[in-house]
Amino acid sequence: MAGASSGTEVATFCPLCVSRCGARATVTDGTFTLGPDPSHPTGRALCVKGKAAPQITAHPDRLRHPMRRTTPKGAPDPGWQRMSWDDALDSVAERLRALAEEHGPESVVFSSVSPSTSAIVDSIDWIQRLQRAFGSPNLAVSMELCGWGRYLASLYTFGASVPGAYMPDLDRAGCILFWGYNPSVSRLAHATATTAALRRGARLVVVDPRRAGLATKADPWLRVRPGTDAALAMAITHVMIDNGWFDEPFVRRWTNAPLLVRVDTGRLLRAEALAAGGDPGHHVAWDEVAELPVVVDPAARGTDIEDHGRLALARTVEVATGDGPVACRPAFDLVAAQCRATPPTVAAEITGVPADEIERAARVLWESRPIAFYTWSGLEQHSGTTQIIRAINVLYALTGCLDAPGGNVLFTPVPTNSVAGVDLLDPAQRAKTIGVTERPLGPARFEFVTGEDLYTAALEGRPYQARGLVSFGSNLLMAHGDSARGRDALQALEFQVHLDLFMCPTAEQADIVLPVTGAFEAEGLKVGFEVSQEAQSLVQLRRPLVPPVGEARPDVQVVFDLAMRLGLGAQFFAGDVDAGWRHQLEPSGVTLEQLRDDPSGVQLPLETHHRKYAAAGGDGVPAGFATSTGRIELYAEDFLDVGQPAVPTFTEPATSPRSRPDLAEEFPLVLTCAKPLHFCETQHRQVARLRSRAPDPQVELHPDTAAARGITAGDWVEIATPKGRVRARAAFNHSLADDVVCGQHGWFEACEELDLPGHPPFGPDSANLNLVLSQTPSDPTSGSSPLRAQVCEVTKHPGG
């Protein structure tokens, strides 16, 4: 579609990150500018990345034509040769068909840049549809690094994505808890809403190793040692339980706190143990008044219990079973005991957070309810990620704020037809997802492949050989740890096609590279903007503002074109993107014509319904929660099946000076990392408007730490880990603990306009932090890489 008319102002939104900020575009003489649109529910402000979108779009280094490699992988020069789109798509389809026929479609992995940090949100559902229609169960989208905690790990507590789908109701929150999350960098719409909440008197609690962004306004700010967040959450929970600061009626009625756990096996006691013919799917609680066991039917969602207040929460009881008496304890008692072992004094020594601050945080959280919370990748890149998330989920569950006004709320969505194609993949194929055998509760259970497992499949053929890769903008080698192993893995593939705006280290390994349009050169459909009911009720079709650069095509169009060549036209509306969108929108009643006529979008009259778990259906039974017990699971029995504890547990980070004293003398510091404000992960360092504000890679360290090493601010330094050394400039941060330093990943591009150099992604003088960060030892449940808590040393670079 052609760009907007010159000299016009157009309502739009910026899709470059998860904030999807509403914007006004002014189009003049083939270019455009962006500014905030206060009338849009996410448009109060626009970050530097959004304001630089015109420069990103028009950058001279954009990929302009499809290209094929003419030299072997690993050669210094790929020998790129221009090709037509027809030849490129025919070649890709031919290679993918051949791999599927000879080795099965599972031998082809699809990958995508994260929708949270790019405009791929326009296309991700369609990419998944293509992956599934093709027959591959494998999608590498960095879920273990950016999404596991928000979307999937929380399923084992709430049966739902909290806080990924149950978003913080910031407009009505009494207290806001941000844990490992800096919205000033990651989601500007949340930052502006939080600032407004603080002005009306809401409290803000932030847990972060750095006092960055809104943490400067937090009271309290808890400076946690990286990777020890589970201990902190358990200590806060201990204080709340010890003081009775939890919603006891909610906990009794809507969590599995009263359900009895066998002391001998650690399993929930089942009704079949009480008497012959007992239902193995029914659980048991203890009536403290009658001193008798009570059978609990999960399907009844609590309606089979006359008085939940009679059920024991904290005692050991002996239950008569067909095999004799069995000692049991309520699930709540086991959770409380685990937290009791980590009181504030113990947690202070582990986490570095003073005991009195832990106690104060518990008081603030309880007394300032309702609590709205959010977490992000600060908690998703650790060797103990899943238990960290579980500990925070349990803490939040005890407050009783889930789906309550001012808590974390599932705002009513616009009704649509799903287009992600879940039903297109045969269950037998889904069972072949790479990594599902090793980590059956992890991302592979949901068709998401970790970077570690992808590299293993390509290099070692476990569980089978990964032979092909279809990559939609995913710069795997810069976004994941063990970059050199990743390069070897990509070179071992038989075929790789990569779609992107710019050349990158991952694209350089490909056989065919395809140019795609930028966010403002193509239409993009957004159904719901998530952060509030007003935002979630909005449907908007982003209009192209300028024509595509060169021969670039939208990702979604490439998906449809490739599907046609693969013989999947029936699943892709005969190649008609508009028909696909119409199908998606049909239940909403919103038409493409309405959206194209009004670029500001269509607002539906939707209302939020709170506490949906308590709403009774036609049979009079409440909805409850989508878990095996029908309740929030403080005690998650599923984890026992994979050798993990059923209650949240703290384990020292697997690579820390404490867990690895053999490394502590050479590497005494803890290395964490954080997103820089000016870039979307590994992207856009070649753009002068952004690079001028952050010309060099940095590592932040406390001034005392620097002084002890003879380092002054601005010095080039070396960050050394057991895997090697990379360069960065020293920057002082007084808020860091003196044994913690904070680096940045994603540095490789040069900015010719400012005469600022690039940095080799591999080898000497690299600034690629992930080159020296390991993917292992990874979280045993999710495979999350410990990128935010590894040992290191920082020294002055010998070159000055």
DSSP string, 583-610: HHHGGGT--HHHHHH-TT-EE-------
- Between the alpha carbon of residue 360 and those of residues 189, 219, 353, 363, 648, the distances in Å are 28, 9, 11, 5, 22
Q: Mean pLDDT over residues 433-449, rounded?
A: 98
Q: Mean pLDDT over residues 404-426, rounded?
A: 98
571 contact partners, CB below 8 Å, separation of at least 6: 129, 133, 421, 424, 563
Q: How many Å apart are CA 789 and CA 376, to the nearest integer?
A: 15
**What average pLDDT does the structure give for the chain?**
97
Instruction: Note whether 499 and 471 are within 8 A (CB).
Output: yes
Residue 115 gets which letter from DSSP? G
Inform me whether the pLDDT recorded for 676 exceeds 90.
Answer: no
* Helices first, then strands: H and E counts in the chain: 24, 30
Instruction: Tell me the pLDDT tens digit for each residue of 504-559.
Output: 999 999 999 999 999 999 999 999 999 999 999 999 999 999 999 999 999 999 99
Q: Read off the tokens for 547.
A: 């024509």
Instruction: Note whether 709 and 698 are within 8 A (CB).
Output: no
**HSE (CB half, 13 Å, CA atoms) of 741?**
31
Q: Mean pLDDT over residues 484-504, rounded?
A: 98
Q: Quote the pLDDT of residue 6.
A: 61
Q: Quote the pLDDT of residue 443.
A: 98
Where would I find the beta strands (DSSP E) of 636-692? Answer: 669-673
188 contact partners, CB below 8 Å, separation of at least 6: 19, 21, 45, 46, 47
* Band (7; pLDDT cuts 50, 70, 90): confident
Instruction: Tell me the pLDDT tens digit for each residue of 204-226.
Output: 999 999 999 999 999 999 999 99
More confident site: 670 or 1? 670
**How far from each other are the two terminal CA atoms of the chain, in whole angstroms?**
52
- Which of 474, 427, 403, 396 shows the shortest CA–CA distance to 149? 396
491: amino acid identity, one letter: Q
206: amino acid identity, one letter: V
Q: Is 291 helix (H, G, I), strand (E, B) or coil?
A: coil
554 contact partners, CB below 8 Å, separation of at least 6: 122, 123, 516, 517, 521, 522, 523
Q: In DSSP terms, which residues pair with 25 in a beta bridge?
A: 10, 34
Place of tokens 């001034």: 703
Write phi, then psi, for 222 (nearest 5 degrees). -105, 110
Inform me whether the pLDDT recorded for 762 exceeds 80.
Answer: yes
- Between the alpha carbon of residue 777 and those of residues 384, 385, 386, 763, the distances in Å are 10, 12, 14, 23
Q: Read off the tokens for 299.
A: 């399907």
Q: Read off the tokens for 420.
A: 């992600």
Between 137-141, 441-445, 582-586, 762-766, the lowest mean confidence (pLDDT) is in 762-766
Q: In DSSP terms, which residues pair with 794 in a beta bridge?
A: 719
Instruction: Note whether 637 and 761 are within 8 A (CB).
Output: no
Q: How many Å apart are CA 523 and CA 426, to the nearest integer?
A: 32
3-state helix, strand, coil in the chain (%, to 5): 35, 20, 50
- Continuous H helices in 151-306: 155-158, 183-186, 188-199, 229-242, 248-254
Q: Quote the pLDDT of residue 5.
A: 60
* Band (618; pLDDT cuts 50, 70, 90): confident
Using the Cα atoms of residue 348, residue 350, residue 351 and residue 352 in order, give the sign of their dihedral. Answer: positive
Write phi, then psi, for 524 (nearest 5 degrees). -145, 125
Instruction: For residue 244, count CB atoms less than 10 angstroms from its CB and return exposed for 0-12, middle for 13-18, buried for 19 or more.
Output: exposed
Q: Mean pLDDT over residues 435-461, rounded?
A: 98
Q: Is 145 helix (H, G, I), strand (E, B) or coil?
A: coil
Q: Mean pLDDT over residues 735-760, rounded?
A: 97
Instruction: Note whether 22 and 39 are within 8 A (CB).
Output: yes
More confident site: 1 or 415? 415
Q: Quote the pLDDT of residue 1.
A: 43
* Band (4; pLDDT cuts 50, 70, 90): low
Q: How many Å apart are CA 454 and CA 443, to the nearest integer?
A: 12
Instruction: Tell me the pLDDT tens digit for each residue of 242-268.
Output: 999 999 999 999 999 999 999 999 999
Using the Cα atoms of residue 234, residue 235, residue 239 and residue 242 in order, give the sign of their dihedral. Answer: positive
Instruction: Note whether 697 and 731 are within 8 A (CB).
Output: no
Q: Read off the tokens for 103.
A: 């080795």
* Band (380; pLDDT cuts 50, 70, 90): very high
Using the Cα atoms of residue 126, residue 129, residue 135 and residue 138 in order, give the sign of their dihedral. Answer: positive
Instruction: Note whether 425 and 137 are within 8 A (CB).
Output: yes
98 contact partners, CB below 8 Å, separation of at least 6: none
Q: Quote the pLDDT of residue 8.
A: 87
Q: Going edge to edge, which strands form the sheet with 203-207? A: 221-222, 203-207, 175-179, 371-375
Instruction: Tell me the pLDDT tens digit for each residue of 348-378.
Output: 999 999 999 999 999 999 999 999 999 999 9
Instruction: Tell me the pLDDT tens digit for each residue of 280-317.
Output: 999 999 999 999 999 999 999 999 999 999 999 999 99
- What is the Cα Rg of the chain in Å? 26
Q: Quote the pLDDT of residue 291.
A: 96
